[in-house]
Structure 1
């Protein structure tokens, strides 16, 4: 899948959520988000003949919390979704670190080849970042109007995640294994 197609597949549901929320409100936006996320996952399956784990987990939670939002006509559930998902990701990473199991390597091992210390440090940083995102989500949805929360979800979380990812490059470069370095030459 090309980077542009991947961006559309992964970002399309969020864009549809944003536009529909602006035009018809959070409940309608949530319904469209659920449908678009499902279509996106099916499209990904069609293109790659596999279901990537992160989008699959994301779709599950969008359907669960989105379904509760639409069914109960209460935006609380869709607002809680990022908090719950980010805390779940953090918990999995922290548990992996405590059990000395590398959780990130199976997810990113085809893209990155790091030594064990690099994987451990990257896992710890991502776990902490997921906690920060959960706290930020809680602060924003509890202190701001729904439309402001939607703007934060669409225009805040993604740039923060991209910035955080970019800031990990020095760590990644320091802990690359020789096979990765040779592939870069």
Structure 2
């Protein structure tokens, strides 16, 4: 299937929609408990159970609209299904709270292996979208690797030492704003090492 373009608004809605839905659902159900098949489940567990198929649906829609998915989107979906499924099956919210740690640590490890080999795996998958010199990609990859390690550590600290309310706020807003701010702060790097696409100018 050939890659197709969609509007940034549509892509943003599909990327962030499930996260915002999880947040709203948690706010509505966090103080409630539900008896299902004789077992008692907290609102958090129920919202997690709803989040899994919602993310699968939006990921499928994104694939149908664009014809492609990034490796990070695929890995994220797999980990949500695995850790979300364990959360619901074992009725233990800790598994879902670990998921961001696993995601960021995994990608930091993959990027780190590339750096040790003198390569930027980010460049391999994003070069057409963001043309830069190899030196620029290496600098960005080192920064992203360190940032992902920081996010993994922060997630562990938050979910292990703070309330579920604090973790949900951190996951919904803290991680999203942190990623946006990080890439906004790379503007100087993009200007210094960026390359003009063929046909520009």
Normalising by structure 2, we get a TM-score of: 0.87
1:119 aligned onto 2:137: yes
Matched with 1:142 is: 160
Separation in 2, partners of 1:107, 1:85: 18
Residue of structure 1 aligned with 2:109, choices 91, 100, 117: 91
Matched with 2:21 is: 16
1:69 aligned onto 2:106: no
1:2 aligned onto 2:7: yes
Separation in 2, partners of 1:166, 1:181: 24
1:25-174 equivalence runs, <5 A: 25-174=43-192
Alpha-carbon RMSD: 1.4
Contact 1:97–1:124 under 8 Å retained in 2: yes
Q: Structure 1's 48 and 181: CA in aligned 2 closer, same or farther, altered over 3 A?
A: closer
More helix as a share of residues:
1
Report how many aligned residue pairs link the two structures. Answer: 183
What secondary structure does 1:156 align onto? helix
What secondary structure does 2:128 align onto? coil
Contact 1:65–1:78 under 8 Å retained in 2: yes
Separation in 1, partners of 2:23, 2:61: 20
What secondary structure does 1:154 align onto? helix
- More moved, 113-122 vs 13-22: 13-22
Separation in 2, partners of 1:182, 1:130: 34
- Report how far residue 52 of structure 1 moved: 2.6
Matched with 1:175 is: 193
Contact 1:16–1:29 under 8 Å retained in 2: no
What secondary structure does 1:113 align onto? coil
Contact 2:119–2:138 under 8 Å retained in 1: no
